[in-house]
Amino acid sequence: MIALIQRVSEARVLVQGAPTGEIGAGLLVLLCAERGDGEAQADKLLSKILRLRIFADDAGKMNRSVQDTGGGLLVVSQFTLAADTSGGNRPSFTEAAAPQAGRRLYDYFVAQARAAHPVVQTGEFAAHMQVQLVNDGPVTIPLTVR
């Protein structure tokens, strides 16, 4: 699985102009399931995201996790993270999980996140979304779990 996480002051997702998810300070998680991914990869990725120390402590060092700060998670499906651009100018997405498998893993990831963390909001799987965010730092970190 692939995630692109952004530390945000605020973020929200709109589908057809209506918000589906919104958080204050926390992490925007753009999430992609790849072929062959399963629940083990989702669990490992979620654990990494929840414990990643990228929020400032009292001394201003990145030493606190989203769990430490009580910040929100906004989880948005994004199959384009699996883009392969090595063959030309048009990306190939053959490494992304098939839609049914991708939805199952996305739903699983969100359910596990909600069981482990108090503030979890989402986009809408397979919808055309507008993501609005204020990147704090900026801090943007790619994560891949195999």
Q: How many helices (H) and strands (E) does the chain have?
A: 3, 8
Please say if 140 is a catalytic residue.
no
Measured CA to CA, the distance from residue 76 to residue 111 in angstroms comes to 13
Choose, from 16, 80, 94, 144, the residue flagged as catalytic.
Answer: 80
Please say if 132 is a catalytic residue.
no
* The dihedral sign for the CA sequence 102, 103, 104, 105: positive
Please say if 80 is a catalytic residue.
yes
Choose, from 6, 41, 55, 79, the residue flagged as catalytic.
Answer: 79
CA atoms within 13 A on the CB side of 90: 1
- Which of 92, 98, 83, 78 shows the shortest CA–CA distance to 36? 98
Measured CA to CA, the distance from residue 146 to residue 136 in angstroms comes to 28
Choose, from 6, 41, 55, 78, the residue flagged as catalytic.
Answer: 78
Residues labelled catalytic: 78-80
